[in-house]
Each structure stands twice: as structure tokens, then as C-alpha cells.
Copies of this chain bind each other. A is one copy, B any other.
Amino acid sequence: MTITPVLLCGGSGTRLWPLSRKSYPKQFVKLLGDESLFQASAKRLTGEGFAPPLIVTGSDFRFIVTEQLAAAGIDPGAILIEPEGRNTAPAVLAAALWLEQSDPEALMLVAPSDHVIPDDDAFRVVVETGAAAAEAGRLVTFGITPDRAETGYGWLELKAAPEGPAEAMELLRFVEKPDAAAAQDMLEQGRFLWNAGIFLFKVSTILAAFRAHAPSLLEPVGAAVAQGKADLGFLRLDPEVWSEAENISIDYAVMEKADNISAVPFGAGWSDLGDWHAVWREMESDADGIATSGPATAIECTDTLLRSESGDMEVVGIGLKDTVVIALPDAVLVADATRTQDVKQAVALLKEKGAKQATAFPRDHRPWGWFETLALSDRFQVKRIVVHPGASLSLQSHHHRSEHWVVVQGTAKVTVDEVEKLLTENQSVYIPLGAVHRMENPGKVPMVLIEVQTGAYLGEDDIVRYEDIYARE
């Protein structure tokens, strides 16, 4: 019995701004420890009993996905690219239709990739429990044993309170996000779990459920998969028909209507890290409730989260109480801990005033690696460019700028007009305005290059592409 993990990672939440931004959202960030949530989610579902994962993500994130999987040593089974986010129902359906091609009776485990489950082993135990029910034709959902009257989640109502080791139990209904009194009541009754959005079923079971409860999705999503274009190892779903699929969650489209649902309780720890308060809960705090990460110093604070997201940035809190401080070199958030849900509002305000920090990080991830601006002035710009081993930038030229390249790590293969040469650490080359040029990393280690641009216009859009192995225009 092999389970195919289906990891949903198309989200671009802003509630953990400034560390999560549209260009590089929460699931890819190292929020806790040395791995991103996405990497931890993928690792959790590897090993005996698991097939390579199927990833569903957005076009902007496709190279982040491959980079992070490679770093984690995981080979994806396939990567489906959603042309735009249409919520979870179309994503799950696309995954099911894709898997049906090879095995209609395969088990698929659908999970968000931006949650934290500290105890992987405990989770794999309940997955085994759920797998038996899924094999028997049930739609299995994993519900979290609640430890507080949380109003921010949907809940699951069981027929009876779970007892003894986890087992698949009959689900009475899905409960919408409750008010405080209802949440308290459910917590006390003991028959209710949090809905974590984690599901396990056979491909054939969920397809039957879609046909029964959400038939209108079958045509557009089916066509988007069938007409999908294989592109550098990704399957890019057809954008036109995809856009006709209803924007709806799997809960609304299918789960709340189906009558063959089982729930398996999971009580070994889980968080959706939905805001900074939730992150703080998952971090280690001292006796005064102080949690820190990076070079951060708390002086006579209580119940305070201090995060410095750069090793070169000292953060100091003095006399703070119930406060959250998240500091990056280009953006700092300081919030009352009870107001961390309002971070969305802050991002909206920054967007309104045109601040690039609302959506973008200083590091710009590209298929070939990443770059960041070290200094920017009217007539010059300095960038650090990191190119993955074997990767190559497009063959290009610029109308308005010249460039000096100095290799500071690894080896670069550089093309300038008709000349091709290898540069190693401490060697440089000049790219005159208008010259057709390309930079590659033919080596086995990352290549780092300092680029000094001069010119009257230094925008990213001053680029004429002649060839690009990543099929960009």
C-alpha cells in the first residue's frame, strides 16, 4: 500500500509579513529551524509507504519548489502548475486526474505545505490508520485534537468523543469558524476536532465524489490537465480552461456534501502558523514568555517575540509586553501580540503607497539562482548574483547600461558577443552597452558574481532576450 503525497503550495499569504511576501511566501521561508515549511512537509511524507510527492503550485514558485526539493534531497513525482490560484477543489481534482492516468486505485494524501507538525512519526502512524479506511472507500480527513477555543479555524463534529488510540471515526459535519462561546462549548464537549485541511482517499473515491457533488468542475479541470503543456519538467495546466473552473475549496465543493467521510484525530501537535502569535506559540519561550530568533536581545520584556531575520541585524527590546517584533533589513514589523491578525491590513496599506516591500523581497529568485541589489543610485547599481551549478542566464543585451562583472566564488562561463571565456574567482569582464552576453555556471558549486551596472536607466525591463533555456520572453 503506497500513498502519493499531494502537496498544495500555491498560497501567497501575507499574515506573516514581512517574512512572508507574495514573491516568496510563508511555505518557502525558514520560519522554524533550518528547513522551510514546504521542505518539512515534503520530508514528513517520504520513506517507506510513500511514493514521490505530487506538487501543485503557482508559476511564480516553480523554481523555488525545484530548488527546495533538490536541497532537501527529494525527487518530485510531478509538479503541476496552476496558471492562477482557484482554491483547493480544482487543485485536488487536477491532482486526482493526473494520478488516475497511472493508477485509479492509488491512495493520495492531500496536505497544505505551510503547516507545522513537529512529530513526523506520530503523524505517519495516524496516516496508516487513515489509509485502511481510505482503502475501504472512505474520504478520510485528519482532525486536530483542540487545546483551546480557537475561533480562527473550522471544526469537525464527531459522533462520539475519541477514546484510546486514534481510529477512523464517523464524521457528523463540518463546522464553520465559530464564535467564542460556540468554540468554548465544542472544546468542552470533546467530540470536536479542528479542520486542518489534510485528506486521504483513493483517486477513484475522490473522483466519484467530485462527479457526485461538484460535476461542473470536471470539464474545465479535466481539460486543463489533458491540454496541459509539459515544460522543463513541469506540467503547466492549460490557462484558458483552468480559468473557467470555479474558485472553491474542497470543503465546500465536496467534503461538506459527501456521506462517506471518516475523521482520524491527531493530537501530537499541529499549527497552521496563521499569524505571528501562532508562530510564537510554536517557538521555544523562556519563563517570561520571551522567544527570540537571530541576534535579538530582550531586556526586561515579558510575553514578547523578537525575531531578527538577518545575522547582521541586532534587535533590542526594552520593557516590552505582549509585543511581536519581526525585523528584516528592508522592513520591520512591531505589533501588539493581540493584533497580529491585522498584519494583512499593514500589507494592504504598504501596497497602496507603492512600497515594494509589500510584495517583494530584496532577493529575487529566478530559475537559474537569485540576485539582490546591494546598492542603487541614479546612475549605478551593484548586484550580487548567485548562479546554481549547471544553470545559465539568458543570452541578452541592454540598451541603456554597461556592466562590470567580477567573479568572487566559483567559475563562470561568459559570452560577450563572439567571445566565450571562463572566469574564476578574482577575474572580471566588461560588458559594453549593446553587447550580446550570457553568464553560465559550468561548475559544481554555486557561482557568485558582483555586477556593477552604470547607465541612465537601470530597470529590469531593459533586456533583450535572444535565447533562454527557461523559455522566458
Contacts and interface: CB of A to CB of B under 8 A. Distances in A.
A295 B355 contact: yes
Contact of A357 (B314, B330, B343, B346): B314
A316 to B, nearest CB: 5
A189 interface: no
B402 A404 contact: no
Main secondary structure of the interface of A (DSSP, over half): strand
Given A297-B349, A315-B332, A379-B409, 10 more contacts: A313-B329, A313-B332, A315-B331, A316-B333, A318-B343, A320-B334, A325-B334, A327-B332, A404-B404, A404-B406
A318 B314 CA distance: 21
A437 to B, nearest CB: 16
Interface residues of A, number: 60
A428 B453 CA distance: 12
Contacts of A336: 318-321
Max chain B C-beta neighbours (<10 A), residue from A306, A335, A404: A404
Nearest to A428: B404
A342 interface: yes
A317 interface: yes
Interface in A355-369: 355, 357
Contacts of A425: 379-380, 454
A334 B350 contact: no
A452 B454 contact: no
Given A374-B374, A404-B428, A316 B297 contact: no
A213 interface: no
A406 B452 contact: yes
Contact of A454 (B306, B382, B408): B408
Given A342-B299, A374-B374, A355 B315 contact: no
A338 interface: yes
Contacts of A9: none
A463 to B, nearest CB: 19
A181 interface: no
Shortest beta-carbon contacts, A-B, top 8: A319-B336, A319-B339, A380-B408, A318-B335, A374-B374, A426-B454, A406-B452, A314-B357
